[in-house]
A and B are shown apart, each in its own frame.
Chain A
Amino acid sequence: KNEVEQSPQNLTAQEGEFITINCSYSVGISALHWLQQHPGGGIVSLFMLSSGKKKHGRLIATINIQEKHSSLHITASHPRDSAVYICAVSAAHNTDKLIFGTGTRLQVFP
């Protein structure tokens, strides 16, 4: 079993829909990262959080440390949000390394 699991693996939506991507992990963590990988391949960091909630524009990330679960929400989705969203954790027992989920592929249609 992977230490970081994401669901769903694939997601399609109509423009304007509210989207939720989930990440569950099985290790103690120092922080959790949400990353975005566009079709061109580049990876950018969206959020890094260790508790509570963060918001940036239409993106909201939440984390529940007790339940070892995080969600990434996209409000009023747009075709330009189409990308792979990757969850990664910085394990508390070894902060030298990130542990990655396999990603959620999102397609938003107009």
Chain B
Amino acid sequence: NAGVTQTPKFQVLKTGQSMTLQCAQDMNHEYMSWYRQDPGMGLRLIHYSVGAGITDQGEVPNGYNVSRSTTEDFPLRLLSAAPSQTSVYFCASSYNPTSYNEQFFGPGTRLTVL
């Protein structure tokens, strides 16, 4: 199993550009989530999904969009990038659709918005 994969690993955007961060898992996990990690702060939940076709907002959803058309994929879209979105982004998954479960994290995407 590849586990949780994320692409790209690094990205530089200009303010106003849009892009999609890809996340995929091959473990048939129901629960997938996106976090951002900023210096001095804990991981913060952006959006999450408890199964295909179901998504919900986390703590910091503004400026981001998600969809979950398949169990395997959970892309994160930045609609119009802003410097405040400069961060490291992690995708995570777990078998059952609750956080009361071992979490598997992707390697992260380091995004810089100029």
Binding site for B on A (CB under 8 A): 2, 4, 30-31, 33, 35, 41-45, 48, 50, 86, 88, 90, 95-103
Enumerate chain B interface residues (CB-CB to A < 8 A): 40-45, 48, 50, 56, 58-59, 88, 90, 92, 97-105, 107-108, 110
Looking at chain A's contact residues, the main secondary structure is strand
Which B residues lie within 8 Å of A43 (CB)?
A: 90, 92, 105, 108
**A contact residues around B98 at 8 Å (CB):** 30, 90, 95-96
- In the assembled complex, the Cα of A102 lies from the Cα of B43 at a distance in Å of 7
How long is the Cα–Cα vector from A96 to B59 in the complex, in angstroms? 12
Q: Which residues of B contact A42 (CB under 8 A)?
A: 105, 107-108
Alpha-carbon distance A47/B11, docked complex (angstroms): 32
User: Contacts A95-B98, A96-B50; is A45 near B103 (CB within 8 Å)?
Assistant: yes
Q: How far is the CB of B76 from chain A (nearest CB, A)?
A: 16
Complex formed: what's the CA distance from A41 to B102 in Å?
A: 18
The minimal Cβ–Cβ distance linking A94 to chain B, given in whole angstroms, is 8
Given A90-B100, A97-B48: A41 and B42 interface contact (C-beta under 8 Å):
no
Residues of chain A within 8 A (CB-CB) of B100 are 30-31, 48, 50, 90, 95
Query: What is the CB-to-nearest-CB distance from B102 to chain A, in angstroms, rounded to a whole number?
Result: 5
B residues within 8 A CB of A102?
40-42
- Chain B residues within 8 Å of A95, by CB: 98-100
